[in-house]
């Protein structure tokens, strides 16, 4: 566990509104003169974190409704983004891609572009203070209409290359298949921003295929159910599409029924480019170190195998080649100090 904690790690799939600290929520609520249902951090946690008995992605997503009312101004957004980098540094995560849906933060008059601007500012301040590299990913939501999603996309394009690294599609996968978003993502691709899409989490492998082949996704969020179709697995392998797997979250949302059933080893043996991420540290009660510990506990992952996952994340990162090389050098240096070598 100590080696896992010290190991330099990368988190490519983490939602801003899924990692608000209860202690921060208390302060945000006080500053906004809002009443919370509990007076202290331990009392708030059950409102912000799923229980063992979570039955589905739909139930999991309800936890986000609790924090969103407090994330409606620039100061709050900048603060939670800053704390993403602080939390990353505390777990030796040296690069983080933090995703969020700007339209969820416009309920009190903030524009989508301003929301993105504040998050980017928080991440950049965190980069300076904590020595963690950070980029934002802008999420379009499955439950939002075309015009809301176009506003989110326009905000992403405005910050493309200056803080925003990609666009994503998230939300209720079971009710809204990716095919509904073809025209939106055609425009996203035209803008030059890379695309990652949540798929194969709460619906089948056809969504993974659609996301890659029709929506132009160059990475897939989760992809757990891709295993139900050999042709989809072959496509992911041939096109070297990274999977952003989030083991603890995937168990909670019932993308799989048990650890025994989790296809991570199978995917690695099939030659897929697997990365491991947290999804929502507060909602899921996890950290990168916990994710790696679970893999070591349930699948016997060795230190070398965990290092391979970190190397995969470097390959999958939405960074320019020179920045990626710089990240590789940093990670390789930290690994070497622990007696570990980063594969090329």
Ligand X SMILES: O=c1[nH]cnc2c1ncn2[C@H]1C[C@H](O)[C@@H](CO)O1
Q: Which residues bind Zn ion (CB under 5 A)?
A: 279
Closer residue to ligand X, CB minimum distance, 100 or 340: 100
Contact 331, 9 (CB under 8 A): no
Closer residue to ligand X, CB minimum distance, 10 or 136: 136
In whole angstroms, what is the distance from residue 25 CA to residue 38 CA?
Answer: 11
Annotated binding residue at 33?
no
Q: Which does 17 bind (CB under 5 to 8 A by kind): ligand X, Zn ion, none?
A: ligand X
**201 in catalytic set:** yes
Contact 158, 116 (CB under 8 A): yes
CA distances, 323 to each of 241, 300, 319, 336 (Å): 20, 32, 6, 20
Q: Which does 61 bind (CB under 5 to 8 A by kind): Zn ion, ligand X, none?
A: ligand X
State the catalytic residue, choosing from 78, 83, 201, 209.
Answer: 201
Q: Which does 244 bind (CB under 5 to 8 A by kind): ligand X, Zn ion, none?
A: none
Question: Running DSSP on this structure, what letter comes out for residue 18?
Answer: G
302 torsion bin: left (phi>0), alpha (psi -120 to 50), beta (else): beta
* Phi, psi dihedral angles at 145 (to 5 degrees): -80, 170
In 246-309 the beta strands, taken as DSSP E runs, fall at 274-276
Q: Which of 106, 249, 275, 277 binds ligand X (CB under 6 A)?
A: 249
Annotated binding residue at 300?
no
Q: Is 84 in the site for ligand X (CB under 6 A)?
A: no
In whole angstroms, what is the distance from residue 267 CA to residue 298 CA?
Answer: 15
In whole angstroms, what is the distance from residue 325 CA to residue 314 CA?
Answer: 9
Q: Is 262 in the site for ligand X (CB under 6 A)?
A: no
Q: Is 71 in the site for ligand X (CB under 6 A)?
A: no
Closest CA to 48 of 38, 56, 33, 57: 38
For the window 90-129, what string marks contact with ligand X as x by the rule CB under 6 A? ---------xxx--x-------------------------
Closer residue to Zn ion, CB minimum distance, 224 or 342: 224
Q: Collapsing DSSP states into helix, strand and coil, what is residue 121?
A: helix
Q: Which does 130 bind (CB under 5 to 8 A by kind): ligand X, Zn ion, none?
A: none
As beta bridge partners, residue 96 has: 11, 134
Annotated binding residue at 279?
yes
Tokens encoding 8: 């330099």
Q: Which of 48, 134, 139, 335 binds ligand X (CB under 6 A)?
A: 139
Interface ranges with ligand X (CB under 6 A): 15, 17-18, 57, 61, 64, 99-101, 104, 139, 170-171, 198, 201, 249, 279-280
Q: Which residues are annotated as a binding site for Zn(2+)?
A: 13, 15, 198, 279
Q: Which residues are annotated as a binding site?
A: 13, 15, 17, 171, 198, 279
Active-site amino acid positions: 201
């Amino acid at each position: 566990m100590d080696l896992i904690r010290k190991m330099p790690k990368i988190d490519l799939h983490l939602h801003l509104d899924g990692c608000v600290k209860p202690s921060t929520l208390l302060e945000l609520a006080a500053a906004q003169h809002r009443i919370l249902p509990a007076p202290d951090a331990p009392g708030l946690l059950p409102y912000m974190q799923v229980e063992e008995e979570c039955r589905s992605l739909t139930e999991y997503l309800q936890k986000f409704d609790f924090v969103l009312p407090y994330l409606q101004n620039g100061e709050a957004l900048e603060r939670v983004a800053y704390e993403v980098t602080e939390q990353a540094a505390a777990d030796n995560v040296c690069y983080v891609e933090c995703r969020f849906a700007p339209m969820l933060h416009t309920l009190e008059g903030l524009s989508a572009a301003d929301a993105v601007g504040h998050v980017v500012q928080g991440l950049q301040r965190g980069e300076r203070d904590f020595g963690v590299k950070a980029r934002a990913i802008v999420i379009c939501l499955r439950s939002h209409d075309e015009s809301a999603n176009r506003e989110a996309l326009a905000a992403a394009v405005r910050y493309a290359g200056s803080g925003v690294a990609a666009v994503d599609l998230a939300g209720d996968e079971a009710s809204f298949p990716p095919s509904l978003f073809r025209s939106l993502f055609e425009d996203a691709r035209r803008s030059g921003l890379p695309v990652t899409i949540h798929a194969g989490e709460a619906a089948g492998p056809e969504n993974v295929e659609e996301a890659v082949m029709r929506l132009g996704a160059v990475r897939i969020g989760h992809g757990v159910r891709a295993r139900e179709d050999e042709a989809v697995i072959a496509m992911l392998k041939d096109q070297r599409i990274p999977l952003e797997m989030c083991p603890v979250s995937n168990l909670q949302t019932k993308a799989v029924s048990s650890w025994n059933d989790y296809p991570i080893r199978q995917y690695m043996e099939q030659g897929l480019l697997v990365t491991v991420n947290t999804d929502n540290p507060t909602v899921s009660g996890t950290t990168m170190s916990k994710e790696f510990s679970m893999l070591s506990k349930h699948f016997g992952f060795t230190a070398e195998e965990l290092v391979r996952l970190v190397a995969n994340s470097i390959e999958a990162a939405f960074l320019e080649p020179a920045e990626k090389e710089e990240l590789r050098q940093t990670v390789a240096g930290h690994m070497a100090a622990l007696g570990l070598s980063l594969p090329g």
